[in-house]
Structure 1
Amino acid sequence: MNTRFLTKASVIAALYVILVALEIPFGTLAFGPIQIRVAEALVLLPLVETAAIPGVFIGCLIANLILTFTSGFGLIDIIGGSLVTLVAAFLTSKMPNKFLGILPPVILNGIVVSLWVSYFFNMPYWPTAATIALGELIAVGLFGNIVLYIYERAIR
């Protein structure tokens, strides 16, 4: 790893944490059974930037640690949620285009994160999985494409 890679990963991690911190006032809209975590838009960056893989993972890990003191789900979200983000970012980096790149975070968050969200909110699993996947689709599909567009223009 070189300094440039570490710098990019660090900036992406910091952006993730900042975006999550800005969402805290929105409560369950960003962190509940219907969650649109705008910071997840950064998970599309691994399509064009390998430093985004550790960047979004570390950013998510730090953000989930911070959320534990406000509205988080504790250790399951710190470890589980962060690992879901890491795997989604890695799988996204292997996708041939941005349309398929959207699928790993949407599917993984919808299936895995909803396990504990449905439990803690005492809600049925499948509706929770559907709303989390939909929120992730909005975050990654809409906001992620905006982030990707801006990033690609900025590095040229």
Structure 2
Amino acid sequence: MKNKNITFITQAAVIAAVYVALTMIFAPISFGQIQIRLAEALTILPLFTPAAIPGLFVGCLLGNIMGGGILPDILFGSLATLLGALGTYGVRHFGQRILLVLPPIAANTLIIPFVLRYGYGIHLPILFFMVTVGIGEILSCGVLGGILLGILKKRRRVIFRNY
């Protein structure tokens, strides 16, 4: 049991670190009204390990803090990623690739526009933000996450052998 706990914590920490690194490396496109947060491709990882759920949440939380986000963005942005990760974990047994990427796309598309409008005070229509955030999430979660999913499925036993 002790070894499994260490593995869980280690996997969560590595996933958080990779999320933060990707967010910071691609900071110019990771924040703002029109954003493509490439780190969101990692939201498919709950398919492989439940450690991805806290890892993604902590990674997003730290990425938002380090990126200079305001408190509503730090809290609600991280909550959106957490909900997306939980959703991906929840649909993992249905076997449909599209279902794995829908929860993070939906969570961010529905939550982040309100943060941009009311947290940052950007006076553009919520619907505009839903479109721009949604497109960014489709690109990061749907396209890049789908590519990552294909790569990891081939190497599942090597990378996530304890789960």
| TM-score of the two chains, using structure 2 as the length reference | 0.85
Compute the displacement of 1:47 (Å).
1.7
The one of 89, 95, 101 aligned to 1:93? 89
Matches within 5 A, 1:108-123: 108-119=107-118, 120=120, 121-123=122-124
CA contact (8 A) 1:11 1:55 kept: yes
Residue 131 of structure 2 corresponds to 130
Root-mean-square deviation (Å): 1.4
CA contact (8 A) 2:76 2:115 kept: no
Residues 109-146 of structure 1, C-alpha deviation per residue, up to 9 Å, x if partnerless?
A: 11111102134222111011111011101100111122
Compute the displacement of 1:93 (Å).
0.7
Once the two structures are aligned, what percentage of the paired residues are identical?
41
Residue 33 of structure 1 corresponds to 33
Structure 2 gaps of 5+ residues are 158-163
Larger Rg: 2
- The separation in 2 between residues aligned to 1:128 and 1:89, in whole angstroms, is 21
Residue 75 of structure 2 corresponds to 79
Residues 11-63 of structure 1, C-alpha deviation per residue, up to 9 Å, x if partnerless?
A: 10000000001012x2xx32112111000000111122211111100100111
Supply the AA of the counterpart residue of 2:6: T
Residue range with higher mean Cα deviation, 121-130 or 34-43: 121-130
Residue 102 of structure 1 corresponds to 101
The one of 14, 20, 39 aligned to 2:23? 20
CA contact (8 A) 1:36 1:135 kept: yes
Give the paired residue count: 149
Compute the displacement of 1:150 (Å).
2.7
Supply the AA of the counterpart residue of 2:79: L
Matches within 5 A, 1:4-15: 4-15=7-18
| TM-score of the two chains, using structure 1 as the length reference | 0.89
Q: Does 1:64 align with 2:64?
A: yes
